[in-house]
Amino acid sequence: MSRHDHTRIRWGILSTGHIASVLTRDLALLPDEAAVVAVGSRSLAKAEQFAADYQIPRAYGSYAELAADPEIDVVYVASTHNDHLASARLCLEAGKAVLVEKPLTVSAAEAEDLITLAGSRGLFLMEALWTRTNPLLRRAAEAVEAGELGAIRHVTASFGFAFRGEKTHRLLDPDQAGGAILDLGVYPVHGVNLFLGEPDELYGFGTLASTGVESHAAALLTFPGTEFRPPATASIVCSLEADLPTRLEVQCSDGSVRLDNFLLPDEMTLVRGIGDHREEETLVTQWSGGGYTFEISEVNRCLRAGELESSLVPWRDTLAVARTLDRWLLSIFPPLDPEL
């Protein structure tokens, strides 16, 4: 039993950017289970404006003041990637549970630090990989895991759009840990991880924007065989240069799964059988708002149950994905040879 059993979970919002607004609007759709009680920004004026926009009782002009608020159960860290580690650490050290936007941090070493801190303090921590809380994607994973479609052989996943914004935008800014891989590639890597786990080999490729960050990247991944399947493969692509389909497909020896718009799927096609013996089943789901209510409810559920991590986005998978992102980046930006 936890202290959150019978009350609404009290949320604090850290930062006032785009996704902070979207999630705050979705929190308002769950008034029986959650309440946003405070917002913190590097600027008091922005925090006050955000609080006025969303009827939030308290506004702070620093992240530290938000973290110190004793009337908050969980902080949603929605700052730019480069800030995730510092802000999440600040909140954990102040005794708060934390939901941190994707990617959890900018490297596997940082992710490990944060997870170790949460574990040692007995506090909840989750990477806000909302996609993994969607019922359709969960059903797809169950079907493959149960062997309903035969042995898994290959997964493809892609996400990208032709970005036409300013060079100073966070997506292209190296100082804000910009680039396609950490921002967009994290979704295909998580999508593949859900079905195949961590790759043993990664062969990556990428091209750079004029700011020096990668703006288009692809990789071929290989996975060792297990007791239940032979070795398998995956291919992933992300791009800030082209409108790629937001698609995830899982090819198995006796069927397949296809999710268009896999970040927020409302429809999934399960194909059972091959050739003339194929049977297609289409499954649908619905949500209200921006699609983040599944993730919010999962956080609330974990806090009520006293769980430190979500079984839908477990620390093990966040770490495996972080290591894969490291390797993908390393394949494009090899370290300088210290001998030279």
The catalytic site residues sit at 102
Our finding on whether 318 is near ligand NAP (CB under 6 A) is: no
Interface residue with ligand NAP among 56, 74, 81, 250 (CB under 6 A) is 81
Residues of this chain, 98-117, that bind ligand NAP according to CB under 6 A: 101-102
Write the CB contacts of 2 (distance below 8 Å, at least 6 apart in sequence). Answer: 303, 304, 305, 306
Burial class (CB in 10 A: 0-12, 13-18, 19+), 220: middle
The CA distances from residue 53 to 57, 59, 179, 293, in Å, are: 11, 12, 31, 20
Residue matched to tokens 């079907």: 143
Q: Are 139 and 149 in contact (CB under 8 A)?
A: no
Element of type H or E holding 5: none
**x/- string (CB under 6 A) for ligand NAP, residues 6-45?**
---------xxxxxx--------------------xxx--
Provide, rounded to whole angstroms, the least separation between the CB of residue 24 and ligand NAP.
Answer: 11
Most distant CA pair in the chain: distance in Å? 64
158 binding ligand NAP? (CB under 6 A): no
Among 73, 83, 214, 317, binds ligand NAP (CB under 6 A): 83
> In terms of CB distance, is 64 or 109 closer to ligand NAP?
64
Instruction: Tell me which residues in 180-209 interact with ligand NAP (CB under 6 A).
Output: 183
Could you tell me the smallest distance in angstroms from the CB atom of residue 52 to ligand NAP?
A: 14
Sequence letter at residue 329: L
Part in contact with ligand NAP (CB under 6 A); list of ranges 72-80, 155-163, 195-203, 298-306: 72-80
Q: Are 25 and 46 in contact (CB under 8 A)?
A: no
Query: Does residue 46 touch ligand NAP according to CB under 6 A?
Result: yes
Give contact residues for ligand NAP (rule: CB under 6 A).
Answer: 15-20, 41-43, 46, 78-83, 101-102, 128, 130, 170, 176, 183
